[in-house]
Structure formats: C-alpha cells, structure tokens
Amino acid sequence: MNAPVNTKPRGRQFFNNPGPTNIPDRILRAMDRPVMDFLAPEFLEIHRACTAGIKRILKTDQEVFFHASTGHGAWEAAVANLFSPGETVLVIETGYFSLGWKEMAEALGLKVEVVQADWRKGVDISKLAERLAKDKAHEIKAVLAVHNETATGMVLPLAEVRRAIDEARHPAMLLSDTISSLGSMEYKMDAWGIDVTVGGSQKGLMLPTGMAITGVSAKALEASRKSKLPKYYFNWELMAVRKPQRFIGTVPVHFFFGLQESIKMLEEEGLDAVFQRHARLADATRAAVRVWGDGGKGPQLFGQTEERLSNSVTTITMPEGHTSDTMRKVALERFNLSLGGGLGPLMGKVFRIGHLGDLNEPMLLGCLATTELAMKTAGVPFAPGGVDAAIKSLAN
C-alpha cells in the first residue's frame, strides 16, 4: 500500500457493477440529438418500433407499458394495477430484491407470505408447490418472483415455478422481475406463462437509468380492471387511453432514441449470441473465482447451486476477517475499477462482478486482473492464477 494513490485516474473507468452498466457509444450517439415532438409521426414510428422490439426481447405477443421511472416504479405498477387492499400474494425469497418487492407490496396494503429459502442455495420449488396446494380457497392471488437475483448472483428457474403453479391447479398469476436478466439471459414471457414482467433500462438494455418496462398478459389486464388499490401515474387503464404512446405526462423521447439503438444492437448480434456471450463471460468469471478460493482460504462463489449461477452477475464471498468494501475502495480509488458491493445483510461480506450489457473479453479480463491487483493491495488472501483460468475458459 506504499505507492502513491491515483488521485486523477486516467483512461476509461472499468465499470463492473451489475447495473447500471456501460452505455455503448452507439447508444450515447443515438441519444445525442435534438428533441422531437412526442406526437410527431416520426416519433410515433420510433415508439412503435421500440414496442415491437421489446416484445421480441420479452418473447411476448401481449401488452407492454413503458414508465418514466426506475425498476421500482414497474414493481409498483404491477402491484397497484393487479390487486385490492388486503389481498394475499406469495413472494419467493431469492435475496435482497425479492424482499424489497415484498416490502413494497406490504406498504401498498397487501398481505404477503414468503416461501423462504437459503440465499446461497436458492428456493426448493416443491415448497412453493406445497403452499399452493394447501390454498384450497385460492386466497393467494399471485406469485412474485425475481428471475435473476442481482444481490446473490442466482437465477430462479421460472419455467419450473410455472409448472409448480399449474400442477397445483392454482389460478395465481405469476409476476416476474427481469430487471437484471432482460437482454442478457434467456427470457420467455409467454412460453413460461408470466403474467407480468418487470424490467428496467440500465442493465442488459445498456441504457441510462430511468425507464422501466412492464409486459402484461391478457389475464393480468383482466385482473387490473377489478383492482381497487389506489393508483394514477402507473394506472394501465388510464395509460392505455392517454396519447398514442400510452403515457401519462411528457414522453421521454430520448429514452426511446436510445432504446431503438439498443434493440438494433441486440438484434444485430442476435439474442441467442448475446445470451451465449454472457454465458461465456460468466463461466470465465467463475473459473477465476474458483482458483482465487484456494480450497476455502480465499474468496468463494456465494451461490452454491451450480445450475442456478447467474450469467449476468457473480457474487463473491470474502474470506473470514476481510471486508469487501475495503478492497472495493482500493479497486475504485487506486485502479479506477468499479465493482458492486454487498446488499442488505451481505454488506461488506461479498462483492459483485457485473458481467452484463456492453462487455467483451478484454473488458472482463481487465476487471478480473484488476480485482486480483486490488485484493493483493488490500491484503486479501487468494490463490494466484484466476486470470489464467479465465483465459483458458474463454479460449475454449
């Protein structure tokens, strides 16, 4: 720790947070244009193209609403539009964000039950099936699920969740948060029987923070007509009749300029190729962490269920006696590398490497090498060779 601290970092910051993510120059340039009347035919065409593109990415033929808000707004829209005060929903515990959605649903007046789970292992889906089978009166109106839990770096298999609901012959709707999987991991809204999908702009779509997306099934739209929770800005019925773009208030046209470019980039690469790139980068990251782990003495993968490890973010547990925030501070202040921290009870105990969005092999290797450098500088024990393992994984 004797070298002088880099007070004026040069070069681009290596940004490996799991959201917001790097905004590609192409998107920045697409947004760098004069404003346009949101009722002009030219804008209506851009809006139409964005809606069609988002439906292709969500793999849905159903409704889509855009909100000028972060993901929390789309969470709120889903809850406020579907339910009435005192109704019951079931949250599948995956980690910090699942409990955040629970807290919001309670604040809005719902009764919330939780299917509890070990954050490192992921939920046992048979527990969901058991709870639904017991609910003979169908008091549970919906299951709320976070597809990719950004706090733990673990995925929830939504097709299995859908199967559990169907096998219990339960009419509950399935609401899914795809905020950190949209545009980076496979997602099939209609095939998986998702009634509401909640997404955000600042992760796999590579856009600035501030636009949220909600995919809504015909069944959810029908339920929204009976809902009695108060709502206005997020009211889908009102939105549907306000302006051709289904928006209350001024339409943020620049977001749509950026979104149109984002969809173009994702489709030029090909969605499957985008997902495979994320899988390759995730595999390489995990290969590095496994070497660093040094048989339990160094940092370890937080997730312990191999097939549920996320392809967009890796959460890494610090070795005993070391706090992640000290190492992250060194990474940021000395080496201009931004890593994600631990959330909620994981604060200080883990760090997170986001490998989603506009990212390639050199960017990831830069991040992994600099993480090693920061760990060495901060005195965190780890076995060397993580970057070599990542190179080996990427060269396959």
Whole-number Å distance between alpha carbons of 34 and 257? 11
C-beta of 153 vs 386, nearer to ligand PLP: 153
Closest approach of Cβ 82 to ligand PLP, in Å? 17
Closest approach of Cβ 275 to ligand PLP, in Å? 18
Contacts of residue 61, Cβ cutoff 8 Å, sequence gap at least 6: 55, 190
Taking CB atoms, the residue at the shortest distance from ligand PLP is 71
H or E stretch at 72: helix 71-82
Q: Report whether the peptide linkage leading into residue 20 is cis, meaning its omega lies within 30 degrees of zero.
A: yes
Closest approach of Cβ 239 to ligand PLP, in Å? 19
* Chain contacts with ligand PLP (rule: CB under 6 A): 19, 70-72, 97, 146, 150, 177, 179-180, 200
C-beta of 146 vs 263, nearer to ligand PLP: 146
C-beta of 210 vs 348, nearer to ligand PLP: 210
C-beta of 315 vs 393, nearer to ligand PLP: 315
> Residue 122 in contact with residue 90, Cβ under 8 Å?
no
In terms of phi and psi (left: phi > 0; alpha: psi -120 to 50; beta: otherwise), the region of 34 is beta
Closest approach of Cβ 159 to ligand PLP, in Å? 18
Whole-number Å distance between alpha carbons of 69 and 149? 20
What 3-state class would DSSP assign to 240? helix
What 3-state class would DSSP assign to 11? coil
C-beta of 102 vs 170, nearer to ligand PLP: 102
- Phi, psi at 314, each rounded to 5°: -115, 125
Whole-number Å distance between alpha carbons of 334 and 328? 10
Residue 144, classified by CB atoms within 10 Å of its CB into exposed (0-12), middle (13-18) or buried (19+), is: buried
Closest approach of Cβ 208 to ligand PLP, in Å? 11
Closest approach of Cβ 268 to ligand PLP, in Å? 26
The identity of residue 330, as a single letter, is V
Whole-number Å distance between alpha carbons of 89 and 112? 5
Closest approach of Cβ 72 to ligand PLP, in Å? 4
